[in-house]
Chains A and B, each alone.
Chain A
């Protein structure tokens, strides 16, 4: 029972264009969402997050959009750069719950093409 779903295992985007990575969740208790980026042979690194009280959060080239009614979030990278080639994990947690876990999706591998 996957609570956080990333349905695209991979995505290829031309350098300079917009990359859009999608994520769906099923647990309506989730109220904090995160994106992590992972390079080979390294640990995941935090990229950007959004609380459920917002529908958009922007940090430089990265913007996360949250659609609570659709239980959907997306990460936009504009413009895409070669260094953005990595695996991106969507993650979610329920701040109000006693348990402290963050649940991760399976990841989307982004390839930025020259």
Chain B
């Protein structure tokens, strides 16, 4: 039982490049989330998907897009990476409201 799987684990991008962070969960959870973690800032929500076919903006959505491909997969796309997007990105899923998240192990992204 893998839980939440994120790929890649590490990535270095040049400013202006694009990339997609992949996330998949095998727990049949309904909701999925993308957070970023920066020093002194805690975990900030970028986008979330409460159910298959829906996505909503979180606290810091600018510069990102998401796709809820199916119930298992929720991807995060950076169309034109900026140094301010250097961060550790966590994907999480949740069965329903009233339960906690299960997090992936993170993607460490550096934009130079």
Chain A residues in contact with chain B, CB under 8 A? 6, 9, 32, 34, 36, 41-46, 49, 89, 91, 93, 95, 99-107
Is A95 within 8 A of B4, CB to CB? Answer: no
Is A101 within 8 A of B48, CB to CB? Answer: yes
Dominant SS among interface residues on chain B: strand
Is A95 within 8 A of B41, CB to CB? Answer: no
Chain B positions within 8 Å of A42 at CB level: 105-106
Q: Which of B35, B45, B58, B102 lies in contact with A46, CB distance below 8 A?
A: B102
| Contact A100-B100, Cβ < 8 Å, known A89-B43, A106-B41, A107-B42 | no
Q: Does B64 contact A (CB under 8 A)?
A: no
Is B40 within 8 A of A9, CB to CB? Answer: yes
Q: How far is the CA of A32 from the CA of B101 in the complex (A)?
A: 12
Is B43 within 8 A of A44, CB to CB? Answer: yes
Number of inter-chain CB pairs below 8 Å: 60
Q: Which of B80-112 contact A (CB under 8 A)?
A: 90, 92, 94, 97-98, 100-106
Chain B positions within 8 Å of A106 at CB level: 40-42
Chain B positions within 8 Å of A45 at CB level: 103
| Nearest-CB residue, chain B, relative to A107 | B42
Q: How far is the CA of A102 from the CA of B31 in the complex (A)?
A: 11
27 A-B pairs (CB sep. < 8 Å): A6-B42, A32-B97, A32-B98, A34-B100, A36-B100, A36-B101, A36-B103, A41-B105, A41-B106, A43-B4, A43-B103, A43-B105, A43-B106, A44-B90, A44-B101, A44-B103, A46-B102, A49-B100, A89-B43, A95-B97, A100-B94, A103-B45, A104-B42, A105-B42, A106-B40, A106-B41, A106-B42
Chain B positions within 8 Å of A43 at CB level: 4, 90, 92, 103-106
- Chain B: minimal CB distance from A38 (Å): 8
Q: How far is the CA of A95 from the CA of B100 in the complex (A)?
A: 11
- Chain A: minimal CB distance from B45 (Å): 6
Chain B positions within 8 Å of A105 at CB level: 42
| Nearest-CB residue, chain A, relative to B56 | A99
Interface string of B41-64 (1 = CB under 8 A from A): 111110010100000101000000
